[in-house]
């Protein structure tokens, strides 16, 4: 490890990383969007420095709550498995859009506009293997009320629900992919949280929708972007997004493996030629999902048949 920094965060993060199967490559001083001091960690799989994971925490953050360190370890353990994907930064939406998350400026910073919100800026790119540079710059805005639900307003405790809120906003057609454009706001509110069930709920899905999602994920992330290398199926981030469990996702993947559409190896699945033969189907779903995100104009107004 290259440790240019010695703070109270280094030892617990290094311990959590080790328990999660990761190694700490470096720990350095950084600066948050609002000027606060941060600690930036770079983590990697042992013996695989090609894929790294960036973790940034406010320097004043403390593991004072006894639940915080175990939750950090669970986050890193999931990230360690995600790092084994061909493109760890890539996901798919329920409608079939492959997307890549990047350039998120953790940690959260408070809004300067007077609103009682916490913000984190980032980008989401369409990741279908093309070179069109369609993307959306986003500002995930977490309300003050919602922030009280979160164990800590830091990356390991918020990244999953922020990514899922962004995917859900795409599902609703409220984020547009452009080649350039202004930052678009994603409202992360208590509508995404069930106080009764004490969990995040982004969308209700049944087995048919979940299975379609899994096939789309394996098609894009393994077949198109990953040269048919395996991708992690039992991802808790996907389970939260689809309101199901990791075990249920594995069960459905096993059923499809029996149909020859994917090859299952433990918790990972890769695309088969039979699945890749459905390329037209997945490309059509992508175009339909992308079209749904584009602004629609009232055609009667365009034709001059109504007042503008």
Taking only the tens place, the pLDDT of each residue in 184-195 is 999 998 888 888
In this prediction, residue 3 carries a pLDDT of 47
User: What pLDDT is stored for residue 305 in this prediction?
Assistant: 52
Question: Which residues have a Cβ under 8 Å from the Cβ of 112 and sit 6 or more positions away?
Answer: none
State residue 129's pLDDT score: 93
Question: Among residues of the chain, what percentage have pLDDT more than 90?
Answer: 71
Q: Give the mean model confidence (pLDDT) for residues 229-245.
A: 97
Cα–Cα distance, 1 to 10 (Å, whole number): 11
Span of 52-56, 186-190, 257-261 with lowest mean pLDDT: 257-261
Residues 56-100 have pLDDT tens digits of 999 989 888 888 999 999 999 999 999 999 999 999 999 999 999
Q: Is the pLDDT of residue 4 over 70?
A: no
Average confidence (pLDDT) over 100-109: 94
Lowest mean pLDDT among 30-44, 116-130, 292-306: 292-306
């Amino acid at each position: 490890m290259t440790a240019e920094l010695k703070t109270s965060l280094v030892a617990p993060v290094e311990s959590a990383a080790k328990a999660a199967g990761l190694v700490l490559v470096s720990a350095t001083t950084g600066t948050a969007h609002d000027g606060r001091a941060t600690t930036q960690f770079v983590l990697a799989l042992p013996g695989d420095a090609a894929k790294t994971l960036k973790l940034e925490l406010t320097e004043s953050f403390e593991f004072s709550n006894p639940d915080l360190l175990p939750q950090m370890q669970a986050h890193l353990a999931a990230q360690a498995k995600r790092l084994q994907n061909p493109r760890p930064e890539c996901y798919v939406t329920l409608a079939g859009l492959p997307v890549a998350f990047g350039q998120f400026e953790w940690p959260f910073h408070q809004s300067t506009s007077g609103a009682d919100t916490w913000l984190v800026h980032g980008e989401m790119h369409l990741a279908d293997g093309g070179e069109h540079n369609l993307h959306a710059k986003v500002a995930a805005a977490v309300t003050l009320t919602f922030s009280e639900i979160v164990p800590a307003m830091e990356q390991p405790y918020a990244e999953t629900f922020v990514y899922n809120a962004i995917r859900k906003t795409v599902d609703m057609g409220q984020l547009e992919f452009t080649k350039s454009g202004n930052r678009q706001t994603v409202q992360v509110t208590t509508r995404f949280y069930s106080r009764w069930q004490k969990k995040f709920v982004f969308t209700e899905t049944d087995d048919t929708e979940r299975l379609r999602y899994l096939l789309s994920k394996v098609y894009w992330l393994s077949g198109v972007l990953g040269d048919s290398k395996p991708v992690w199926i039992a991802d808790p981030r996907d389970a939260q997004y689809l309101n199901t469990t990791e075990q249920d996702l594995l069960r459905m993947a096993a059923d499809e493996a029996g149909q020859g559409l994917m090859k299952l190896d433990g918790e990972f699945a890769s695309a088969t030629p039979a699945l890749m033969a459905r390329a037209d189907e997945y490309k059509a779903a992508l175009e339909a999902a992308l079209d749904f995100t584009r602004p629609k104009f009232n055609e009667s107004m365009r034709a001059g048949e109504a007042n503008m």
